[in-house]
Structures are given as structure tokens and as C-alpha cells.
Amino acid sequence: MTIAVSSPGLRSFFRPLFDREYCDGCGQCAVECSFNEIRMETRAGRKIPVANGRSCGACHRCELTCPRGAIRIKEDGMPLRPHGVWHADAVNRVHLQAASGAVALTGLGADTSLPVYFDRLLFNACQVTNPAIDPQRELMETVTYLGRKAQSWQEIADVSSFHRSLIPLSMPLLFAPMSYGSVNLSFQLAMARVARKKGLLWYSGEGGLHRDLYSYSDCVVLQVASGRFGVSREYMQLGRAYQIKIGQGAKPGIGGHLPGEKVLPGISETRMIPLGSDAISPAPQHDIYSIEDLRLLIYAIKEASGYKPVCVKIAAVHNVAAIASGVVRAGADMLYLDGYRGGTGATPAIVRDNVGIPLELALAAVDQRLRDERIRHRASIIAAGGIRNSGDVMKAIALGADAVAIGSACLVACGCHVCQRCNSGKCPWGITTNDEKLAARLDPAWAEERLTNLVEGWHHEMREIMGLNGIYDIGSFRGNRLILRGVGLSDRELAVLGIKHAGE
């Protein structure tokens, strides 16, 4: 049995406040709230909204859809006597579990207060001796090729087929795997359209590929996860590339979990499982108990797909550099590294918040290890997990990533306010839900526009950051750690990140 960690054990931390002066009792808020926080009552002959005070999660749906602008969400936690250890979250969690005996579930990435290393890194800029480049006036290029490259010119047997075996991106950005089921088709469609339009890639996630999206398969990386959902002969022909999912940053060591109530007709068909049955992916892939087994699966997928690039997704864990080396030597063409802050549709909070290591440290360690072993050219590194803006993207690139995948940022672009209740299936913004009424709230055309804007805005900023460093091609930014300096980091942290401290 599982319960949502966001459902309060004491009472809700937030509360919608209604401004009676503006409210005309239209009742829209009660319709919009998918968590039944708001009900309409008639008092003194007037219809008014009333908050239950039990389930507001600060999704801000009612506030932003109120036609009269009459609602504000306020923090409304139960004040507890301050305690250095027993802070409100800890108390709440015990109350919850004592009441239910369940595993507390949550959605999105870890919300702990551990340091976000991206925030401790600062970029360099040109002054005097080296002119900054103005991206408004001069050519700036972000073309990126993903896949297995070569260490030298002599290694290439066939020049004409070499770059055609790789995947070109117009900029080093991808849409992270979010399965059909965890999100809905409208959202996947929006990602697919933007990926096509902007020369990017999107990932299907582990839920297979819905027939309606077959026409976008030339820019999709299809996933083969431990549940093998949706994997068929046809599926093995469709994708631009394939991804073997070993682990996920939000839940290293455990498999995906889609509750039966979310397994609706389209999802059941795409995943090839009975309607209403729980789609529980095993923790390991049951044909991969060792690195040799991984190699077998990589080559099985290559054989089945006509030698398309194969990506292996692993979570950032303690020994990630050695694991990455093994994965690359096993034949992976791309390594997808998902960090501690990586998002999820549903995961036990205890796992999300306590397992794995931050992306920044893992990425730096993996990139250096692959270079030390002189196999860096064999696989592209895709970094993911808590990327919030183009600054994070460029910091990851400077640390050594070939490209960066964004998931949560896409949700936020389409209305999400990070209420962390993706697991509920009641996403009020119509993204992480397949409830017919709720899902209808997400207009794919609008979502496409929002994602396009996000990508274009970030692209401008990425070029700005390159330009102010006097770099016109992202290739000279990639792995260029001299561009970064750390602030407030220990010698150990700086050593792992492979950067100098500010002022050095």
C-alpha cells in the first residue's frame, strides 16, 4: 500500500484564500481543483467557495484560472515549536505513516536542502585581451553530434558513412524520458513536435510509443526498460535510437511504477498489458545481472534495430565513474546520466530524498574517468537531473556533457507549479494525468508553443554565454572546465569537479 507524502498528516501546508470582494461565486475554482480542496456553499443566499484545509498542495490552478483574480494561495502550515531535528516535514511524515502503515510516495525531483552545485559554479567572461562575441551580430553554433565517434582520423574506415551513423542536434538539448502513462499523449505530442521542429530528440520513456506518435519516430529515442512495455518487432524498427534504462536519478535501484488505475485503454494498448493492471517494472532488468549481460542486450538491440545508436541510462550513484566505464566498454554509444535531483512521476520519498549523488559531481567524475581511460570518444554523455535553466545546461556542458536532457523544466513550461503530486494522477494542469477531463486541460498546440519558447529562449542564452566567453562553437565549450570557477566549495569538491576556486 502506498500513500502520497503530500497529503498532510496534520493538515495542509497551504490554503486558498478567497477575496469576497471580488468573488462572484461562479464556482470555477471548485471545478478546477482536482484535489477536492474547494467546495461551494450557499451562505446568506450567496454562493461562496470554501476551503477544506486538508488537501491544498499549492498547484495554483484555482488561483490562476479564477476569472475574477479573487484567490491567493497562502502558506498555512501548522506552527510547531521549532526543533533542530523534528522539523515539520519529519513530524508530518511520522503522522502519515503511523496512520497508514504505507510507503510514502511523491513526484518530481528531490526537494531536500542539500547544496545544488550548479549554484556554486560561476562562468568566466572575456575582458580586454579576448573580445567577447555578440551573438546578435555574429555566427554562433551549437551543432552537436551524438553517438560513437572515433579517436583519430585513421580509425574511420568509411568517411561517407561516419557522420551518418551519428545523431545531429541543432543544440545540445533533449527532452527527458517521460512515459505515456506517467504523462499524457498531448504532452508527448508537444515534445515530439518541438523536437522535430527544433532539431532535437525526445525520449518515449518506458511506456512504449503510441500509434499516434509513430510519425514522430525519426526524432525519438525509444526506451527498453525492465518492464519491456511496448517492445515489439515493429517498435525495434521505429526509433532514431534506443535506450536501455538501468536506473533513474529519482529512484536508483528501483523500477518504474504505474498504478492500475492509470492503465487506461490507450496506455494498456501501448504498453501491451491488460486494462487496469499495475505496470510495475522490476528493479533490475531480469536479463541483466552483470555487465556481460548488458553487453548482450546492447548488441541484441543493435541487431534488432539495424545498428541504431544505443543509449544506456544509469542513475548517479557512488561508484558511477567505474560503472560508466563498464557501460561504455560494453558497447553503449550514449551514456545517459541521471542525477540525484532527477524527476519522476512516482517514487517513494525515502528513496528520492536519500539515494544517489548530485549530477554535477557524477558528471565531472564520469567525464574525467572516461578521458583517463581514453574511451571518452566512444560514447556521448547526456546529463540530466535538476536542470532548471540555460545556465545549468552550459555548466553541465562545460563539466563535460555532450548534451543535456530536461524533464521537469518541460512540465513547468506547460503550467506545472512543482506541487510534487505527479504520482496522484490528478495533475490539475493536465500534464501528469490521463484522466480524460484533466488531460483535456492541456492543449497540445499551446504546450508546443510553450516548449518552443522555452527552447528558443534557452538557445539565445546559451549563445550569449558562449559569446561572452569568446567562443563561437559549443565544441570548444564542451569539457572546458577552465570556464568555471567554484564559490564556497571545499578542496575535495573542487577536485572532484575538476575546477578552480574563484580568485585562483
Partner 1 sequence: MCGIAGLINQKRVRENGSRIKKGIVLQTERGNGLGAGYAAYGIYPEYADLYAIHLIAVNRQSLEKAQKFLEQHFFIHAAGNIPVWNHQINDHPLLWRYFVEPRPCRTEHTLSYRADDYAIEKVMEVNRILEDAFVFSSGKNMGVFKGVGTPQEIYDFYCLDDYAGYCWLAHNRFPTNTPGWWGGAHPFNLLSCSIVHNGEISSYGVNRRFLEGFGYYCRMQTDSEVVAYLLDLLMRRHELTIEEATLVLAPPYWIAAEQLADEAVRDKVIALKIIYEAAMLNGPFAILAACADGLFGITDNTKLRPMTVGRNGAYTFFASEVSALYEMDEDLQNIYMPRAGQPCIVRLDADGTPGSCPESDYICSQIIQ
If the CB atoms of residues 123 and 299 are measured against partner 1, the closer one turns out to be: 123
* Residue in 209, 176, 64, 187 with CA at minimum distance from that of residue 434: 187
Contact status: 130 vs partner 1 (CB under 8 A): yes
Angle CA 224–234–257, to nearest 5: 30
| 482 belongs to the binding site for partner 1 (CB under 8 A) | yes
Q: Quick check: helix, strand or coil at residue 190?
A: helix
Total residues belonging to the chain: 504
Least distance from partner 1 to the Cβ atom of residue 149, Å:
6
Of 47, 93, 295, 371, the one binding partner 1 by CB under 8 A: 371
**Which span (5-13, 52-60, 113-121, 154-162) binds partner 1, by CB under 8 A?**
154-162
Measured at the CA of 24, the angle between CA 19 and CA 26, to 5 degrees, comes to 115
Dihedrals phi, psi of 271, to nearest 5 degrees:
-85, -15
Query: 494522477: which residue's cell?
Result: 425
Task: Provide the minimum distance between the beta carbon of 463 and partner 1 in the complex, in angstroms, as a whole number.
Answer: 13
Give the cell for residue 359.
Answer: 549530477
Q: Which residue in 128, 157, 233, 436 binds partner 1 (CB under 8 A)?
A: 128
Distance in Å, CB of 118 to partner 1, minimum: 18
Letters for 452-481 (x = contact with partner 1 by CB under 8 A, - = none) are: -----------------xxxxx-xxxxxxx
Q: Is 41 in the site for partner 1 (CB under 8 A)?
A: no
Binding segment (CB under 8 A) for partner 1, from list 83-91, 140-148, 266-274, 384-392: 140-148
Q: Of 141 and 269, which has the nearer Cβ to partner 1?
A: 141
Cβ atoms of residues 386 and 341 within 8 Å:
yes
Residue 479 CB, nearest distance to partner 1 (Å)?
A: 5
Distance CA 337, CA 49 (A): 46
- State how far the Cα of 457 lies from the Cα of 463, in Å rounded to an integer: 10
In the bound state with partner 1, the residue whose beta carbon lies nearer, of 343 and 400, is 400
Q: Which is nearer to partner 1, 336 or 477 (CB)?
A: 477
The reply to whether 35 sits near partner 1 by the rule CB under 8 A is no
Least separation in angstroms between CB 112 and partner 1: 32
* Residues paired with residue 315 on neighbouring β-strands, in sequence order: 338
Given 1, 85, 139, 157, the residue binding partner 1 (CB under 8 A): 139
Q: Residue 406 and residue 387: Cα distance in Å, rounded?
A: 6
Interacting span for partner 1 (CB under 8 A) from 160-168, 351-359, 417-425, 436-444 = 160-168
Which of 68-76, 150-158, 281-289, 386-394 is the region at the interface with partner 1 (rule: CB under 8 A)? Answer: 150-158
Of 136-144, 263-271, 299-307, 323-331, the window that binds partner 1 (rule: CB under 8 A) is 136-144
Applying CB under 8 A, does 266 fall inside the site for partner 1? no
Strands 2-4, 103-106: pairing kind: parallel
Give me the residues paired with residue 337 across strands: 314, 383
Distant-in-sequence, close-in-space partners of 375: CB < 8 Å, separation ≥ 6: 325, 328, 329
Binding piece for partner 1, criterion CB under 8 A, among 23-31, 206-214, 370-378, 487-495: 370-378
Residue 164 CB, nearest distance to partner 1 (Å)?
Answer: 8
In angstroms, what CA-CA distances link 127 with 124, 131, 132, 133, 474? 10, 7, 8, 11, 20
Residue 129 class from Cβ within 10 Å (0-12 exposed, 13-18 middle, 19+ buried)? exposed
Instruction: Report CA-CA distances (Å) from 329 to 287, 301, 334, 379, 459.
Output: 18, 16, 11, 9, 33
Q: Is 137 in the site for partner 1 (CB under 8 A)?
A: no
**What region does 258 belong to: left with phi over 0, alpha with psi -120 to 50, or beta?**
beta
Distance CA 228, CA 21 (A): 55
Q: How many residues bind to partner 1 according to rule CB under 8 A?
A: 41
Can you tell me the distance from the alpha carbon of 440 to that of 428, in angstroms, rounded to the nearest whole number? 10
Question: Which residues have CB under 8 Å from 12's CB, separation 6+?
Answer: 37, 53, 54, 55, 56, 57, 76
Q: Which stretch binds partner 1 (CB under 8 A): 76-84, 201-209, 330-338, 374-382?
A: 374-382
Closer CB to partner 1, 42 or 152, in the complex: 152
Backbone conformation region of residue 27, classed left if phi is above 0, alpha if psi is from -120 to 50, else beta: left
Which residue, 68 or 501, is less far from partner 1 as judged by CB? 501
Integer Cα distance of 355 and 466 in angstroms: 34
SS3 state at 461: helix
Binding span for partner 1 by CB under 8 A among 71-79, 121-129, 182-190, 261-269 = 121-129
CB of residue 286 vs partner 1: minimum separation in angstroms? 37
- Binds partner 1 (CB under 8 A): choice among 13, 162, 299, 446: 162
- In the complex, the smallest distance separating the C-beta of residue 498 from partner 1, rounded to whole angstroms, is 9
Q: Provide, rounded to whole angstroms, the least separation between the CB of residue 121 and partner 1.
A: 14
Report the residue from 90, 143, 272, 275 that binds partner 1 according to the rule CB under 8 A.
143
In the complex, the residues that contact partner 1 under the rule CB under 8 A are: 126, 128-131, 133, 138-139, 141, 143, 145, 149-154, 156, 159-160, 162-163, 166, 371, 374, 376-377, 469-473, 475-483
